[in-house]
Amino acid sequence: MKLKELISNLIEATERAQHIVPKGSLFDGEWAGFKNIDGFGSLNVSREMNRIVGEIAKIFYDGDAGLARTWTRDDWFKTVDKAIIPMIAKCDPEYDRVEITEEIVKNLAVSLEQQKRPNPFSFIFGCYVFATELPMPISFGKVSFWPRSLWLDDQIKRNTISEAVYEGLKRTWQGVERAQGERDHSEDRAVEKSIRGAVGSCNYICEVAMDGHSGASAQSKALMAMRFGLTGIALTWQTPSKALFNMPSLFDGLSRIEENAILASGRIWPGGMRRTAGYGQPLIDVTWDKVEEDFREIFGAVTEIIEYVLDANGSAARPKLMDALAHSMLWFHEACRETLPMVAVAKYVASMDALAAGSGSASGLVKAMTSIFGVDEHRPIRMNGPTFREALIDLYSQGRSRLLHGSSDRLMHDWESSRSLAEAFARQALVMSLDWATNNPGCDNPKALGQR
């Protein structure tokens, strides 16, 4: 159905909706609630109206490929609904229907075009990075990790917060008791409360600069960018999962104690306990300056991946290669954070498979990984151990294909050794691929990663 016809139908549906008698429940009949329209008053809304608005929103959404990168369908529906319903409500039913429809089409297109690209802004997320505060932020382009006190000093210099908010946060984060009745200004109270809520007890703050994204899509991309930044840092350790354990974000869950009790021999006994996350990765016998120097190429590629993730207009350099690396980073991060060992193995294999250009087979993965590693597939991975080919095929078969298809005969086995091996392989493949991407700036072919 064409746009003009849908808008004409929406006008008629809106007129019919005003005669609906609400039954007191949104689950009864066609009534879908009220809308308060500025300059008009209260408007009955029907399910029919919502269906038509959904079809109108779909026409605009599907007609602009860029919207899929920057808006969720749900947020776009709400934006279209907010723009068109007041136009429908305020139109004079005695006017010519064709003229009204054409005017609404024109005004709607102008209104939506203005809202497609929101003004730039930044998200603020609390997280742990290191156990101690560095003297400077860590930057991956649009993503930066700031020691909490350093971030606060920077905000007051940039005049983004008031002196009252600055002093209030400083005292809170230093553990100083607040005097009763301080910060009476309601806006200051709201700002300070919001920052404390976003940061929590974390000693680092992640800032993600956004330009062109909106609503849930913006937050989803920002969180992914933050996780990629933390993963990039964690890759500098031989076991990134242990580093990420110490680098939780407020969004992904901070440290807590999980404890159980045991009923045995007719009595209840104390059980075990475990911590779910740490409080910052320790820097032992190394400085961050040295780490940055040693991993400069890897961090350069991580920055480029983040630029691709946050790209709102499709202009990122090397989109095909960055898409493959982003897939690999995403699965690697999720594998490191996974609590079930067998599922972690599946995710590590997915991370490697992304670097193999979605090989689709165990032999394809073996070929790509041994090419990336620069080893013969028949070489043992350790003395008296399996060959690279045997180990990779086993991980692909048991840890990916058979597990995902419900045919693994090892589901109840101990997967920890497989998890450790899969993490070592995936980490080495990702680090070497990131390094290769930085040193081959003219390449945008994902297949080249596994064809060296």
Q: For the chain, which residues make up each domain, given as ranges?
A: 3-115, 119-212+247-280, 294-452
pLDDT digits (tens, 9 = 90+) for 39-64: 778 888 888 999 999 999 999 999 99
Least confident interval from 35-44, 215-224, 403-412: 403-412
C-alpha to C-alpha distance for 374 and 376, rounded to whole angstroms? 7
- Model-level pTM? 0.90
Put the strands of the sheet holding 138-140 in their side by side order: 121-127, 204-210, 143-147, 138-140
User: How sure is the predictor about 180, in pLDDT bands with cuts at 50, 70 and 90?
Assistant: low
C-alpha to C-alpha distance for 224 and 371, rounded to whole angstroms? 29
| % helix, strand, coil for the chain, step of 5 | 55, 15, 35
pLDDT digits (tens, 9 = 90+) for 297-311: 999 999 999 999 999
Residue 150 has pLDDT above 60, yes or no: yes
pLDDT value of residue 33: 78
Least confident interval from 31-45, 170-184, 409-423: 170-184
- HSE at residue 56, side-chain half, CA atoms within 13 A, is 29
**E strand segments, 142-277:** 143-147, 204-210, 257-264, 267-275
pLDDT value of residue 55: 96
Arithmetic mean of pLDDT, 131-140: 96
pLDDT value of residue 27: 56
Arithmetic mean of pLDDT, 80-90: 91
Residue pointed to by tokens 């990420």: 244
Least confident interval from 35-49, 317-331, 405-419, 437-451: 405-419
**DSSP secondary structure letters along 250-287:** TTT----EEEEEEEETTEEEEEEEEES--SSB---S--
Arithmetic mean of pLDDT, 206-234: 96
pLDDT value of residue 396: 87
